[in-house]
Structure 1
Amino acid sequence: MHVVIMGCGRVGAMMAAALERLDHSVAVIDKDAQAFRRLGQDYHGQQVVGTGFDRQVLVEAGIERAAAFAAVSSGDNSNIISARVARETFGVEHVVARIYDPKRAEVYERLGIPTVATVPWTTDRLLRTLLPDGVASAWRDPTGRVAVLQVPYHEDWIGHTVKEFQGATGCRVAFVMRFGTAVLPVAKTVIQSDDHVYVAALSGTLSDVTAAAAQAPEESN
């Protein structure tokens, strides 16, 4: 398929190279012709000088036959405007925009433009490296407000229900990995030995949730 990339920074250049290795045709747009040096001698796609929200520039890059468009320049506004033009004017099916400001990501998602919020994503990747015990999130929404993470839990939680676990930790159990299979639990689902419990929680509460899960459940009278 044909893919148009707006922005020839490190990310844009790496995407172009990866797509060509997969035998896709690629066009890269950047307002600075010197940026195309990052593409290297092995790149055989188009190089189009201009802004990614200029319709004529997009047409020159083959947007009318493109199956995908990625806006990965260094400017949030340029990325989202370009992505909207690609989606709304040219009807490109697969569109994504890189966003640096996580507060804007939710707004853009509501406009129907999938976004990659660079700062929260990078933070999560670093935390997963630093904290391999499950404290780092496995997924975070575009605003960075809600996270899904695997929580280590005290062995005494085995035999207790998801409802009890949620009440004690203040989170919601999103799913349980049991014998390699994902299970969507209900309130009466009982935690079994070797279950991996993934919970959804507000970002500011992750430490509290993890600490609560590590404590033995209180025995009811």
Structure 2
Amino acid sequence: MNIVILGAGQVGSSLAELLAQESNDVTVVDLDRLQLQRLQDRLDIRTVVGHGSHPDILAQAGLEDADMLIAATQNDETNILACHLAHSLYKTGKKIARVRSRSYLDHPELFDRSENTSAIPIDVLISPESLVTDYILQLIDYPGSLQVIDFAEGKVRLVAMRAYADGTLVGKQINSLSDHLPSNIKTRIVAVYRRNQVVMPTGSTKIKAGDEVFFLAEAEHISIIVNELRRSKERPSRRIMIGGGGNIGFNLAQALEKAHQVKLIDRNMQQSREIAESLDNTIIIHGDVSDKDLLLEENIDEIDLYVAVTNNDEANIISGMLAKKLGVRRVIALVNNQSYVELIQRNSIDVALSADSITTSHLLHYTRKGDTVKVATLRKGAAEAMEVIAHGSENTSQIIGKKIGDIEWPSDITVGCIIRDDKVIIAHRELTIEAEDHAILFLSNSENAVEIANLFSPETKRSWFS
């Protein structure tokens, strides 16, 4: 696939790296010549220096022959105009734009071409702030979770949990999990990470304290399963403090304030006043999130969850670590610098997440071959979970009509479940793949994604007489 990416920031760079590894023809456009040179030094890509919404620059980038444009600069107007130009000048097949401002997002009719053919020609609109907000809300729904990902339009969820010493299942074999659950609840543990090494699970695999456990189940059953894996003393987060009143902080407070006790701290007086006027039940505090005296004054030791979502990584890290030291049970911090994430995870901060990684993960399935419905990166991009549709027939497919145990899967692949006629079927060796099945897969090595896409794509079998 020929793909043009506008913007060489974290999102653009991450996408370029992932797409180049999958043998796509990638061109990155940015004004920062030095950043482009760094990318070109380590990746097999083309780069163009210039403004992403200028027609001559888009022409230099080869947009005329591109299958897809991903406009991921920091400027909404640049991204929107670039998609408009791509449509008007080249009829580019797929146009994806990163848009952050609520002024645009509050008017979806601007981009809905199904209702209005004169709407802005963007096929996929992504808002990093909205994606991060939804991500954090799911982490709050499941106390102790490290990652929560929806598949099959929310019918199935993949959840990562840390196994603690006082958890029910620590020291027990995976096949004993069913003994602790009601008979109607089915789940599959698709991977266990132990000291950053993957353990491909079998029924006899024992869960140890500190393990990171990934399991799949129907969405309505997740809470019951989480209760078996989390530490016995852990309780839902009712009292929540949010550090930062930007788009993410505001959206979180708005979503949480009806069912939770919410406090929000922001250092900008004008922004604090505007938030106070817009929210009904949230306590707004003007101040510095890393001010120890302020946190103590606001009874930080009584807070169940502190969420640091300012636009400054260092402020999020410092305030998160300080909040933990002062008695907060759980801390989630927004940290976009990946080198920071690796240093602080499990060191005072319970979950460090990156808006850029979440955004990149959301975009991946649009770039995959075959009918890949969704892709989610895990373990800082080392692993993936994906939803793929089996198209074709027994005559044109390598997998349709075969039992899961008889298919020659790439190494380190776990089939979690199959969705068939809106029913979730937990995978087992004797289960036969049928046409139009949605398969949820766990890949401990993301490099196998291309092989999986090819495996699920129909191809005519070679005739005996050819």
- Sort the TM-score into its range (normalised by shorter chain): 0.7 to 0.9
Compare 79-88 and 100-109 and name the one that shifted more: 100-109
AA aligned to 2:239 is: H
Is 1:159 paired with 2:396?
A: no
- Structure 2 vs 1, CA of residues 182 and 23 (structure 1 numbering), >3 Å: closer, same or farther? closer
Give deviations 1:176-201, integer Å, cap 9, x for gaps: 23454444434444324553211122
Equivalent position of 1:140 in the other structure: 377
5+ residue gaps, structure 1, are none
Equivalent position of 2:446 in the other structure: 203
Aligned match for 1:109, one of 314, 336, 345 = 345
Give deviations 1:111-146, integer Å, cap 9, x for gaps: 361233211211233445787942541x32251221
Equivalent position of 2:252 in the other structure: 15
Task: Give the Cα separation in 1 of the matches to 2:418 and 2:340.
Answer: 32
Compare 8-17 and 38-47 and name the one that shifted more: 38-47
Other structure's SS at 1:74 match: coil
Give deviations 1:34-86, integer Å, cap 9, x for gaps: 33144151335333333323322212333222222111011223223322332
- Counting only pairs closer than 5 Å after superposition, residues 112-123 of structure 1 correspond to structure 2 as 113-123=350-360
Other structure's SS at 1:17 match: helix
Task: Give the Cα separation in 2 of the matches to 1:98 and 1:181.
Answer: 36
Shift of residue 9, structure 1, vs aligned partner: 1.1
- Counting only pairs closer than 5 Å after superposition, residues 169-180 of structure 1 correspond to structure 2 as 171-180=413-422
AA aligned to 2:355 is: T
- Structure 2 vs 1, CA of residues 190 and 121 (structure 1 numbering), >3 Å: closer, same or farther? same
Equivalent position of 2:260 in the other structure: 24
Task: Give the Cα separation in 1 of the matches to 2:276 and 2:286.
Answer: 16
Task: Give the Cα separation in 2 of the matches to 1:171 and 1:217.
Answer: 24
Equivalent position of 1:34 in the other structure: 270
Task: Give the Cα separation in 2 of the matches to 1:51 and 1:165.
Answer: 57
Could you tell me whether the CA contact under 8 Å between 2:371 and 2:457 is conserved in 1? no
Aligned match for 2:309, one of 46, 64, 72 = 72
Task: Give the Cα separation in 1 of the matches to 2:449 and 2:410.
Answer: 14
- Structure 2 vs 1, CA of residues 173 and 5 (structure 1 numbering), >3 Å: closer, same or farther? same
Could you tell me whether the CA contact under 8 Å between 2:268 and 2:286 is conserved in 1? yes
Equivalent position of 2:332 in the other structure: 96
Other structure's SS at 1:41 match: helix
Equivalent position of 2:457 in the other structure: 214
Task: Give the Cα separation in 1 of the matches to 2:320 and 2:344.
Answer: 10
Equivalent position of 1:5 in the other structure: 242
Equivalent position of 2:25 in the other structure: none
- Structure 2 vs 1, CA of residues 205 and 51 (structure 1 numbering), >3 Å: closer, same or farther? farther
Other structure's SS at 1:210 match: helix
5+ residue gaps, structure 2, are 1-237
Other structure's SS at 2:389 match: coil
| Matched pairs, number | 216
Could you tell me whether the CA contact under 8 Å between 1:17 and 1:39 is conserved in 2? no
Could you tell me whether the CA contact under 8 Å between 1:36 and 1:47 is conserved in 2? yes
Task: Give the Cα separation in 2 of the matches to 1:34 and 1:205.
Answer: 50
Compare 163-172 and 26-35 and name the one that shifted more: 163-172
Compare 94-103 and 145-154 and name the one that shifted more: 94-103
TM-score (norm. length: structure 2): 0.40
Could you tell me whether the CA contact under 8 Å between 2:324 and 2:331 is conserved in 1? yes
Give deviations 1:166-219, integer Å, cap 9, x for gaps: 525874323323454444434444324553211122334423321232145979
Task: Give the Cα separation in 2 of the matches to 1:167 and 1:218.
Answer: 18
Could you tell me whether the CA contact under 8 Å between 2:263 and 2:283 is conserved in 1? yes
Task: Give the Cα separation in 2 of the matches to 1:108 and 1:186.
Answer: 38
* Structure ID, larger Rg: 2
Q: For the aligned residues, what is the CA RMSD?
A: 3.2
Give deviations 1:80-110, integer Å, cap 9, x for gaps: 3322332343132x43111213454354433
Could you tell me whether the CA contact under 8 Å between 1:146 and 1:203 is conserved in 2? yes
Give the fraction of aligned pairs with identical amino acids, expressed as a percent: 22
- Structure 2 vs 1, CA of residues 84 and 167 (structure 1 numbering), >3 Å: closer, same or farther? same
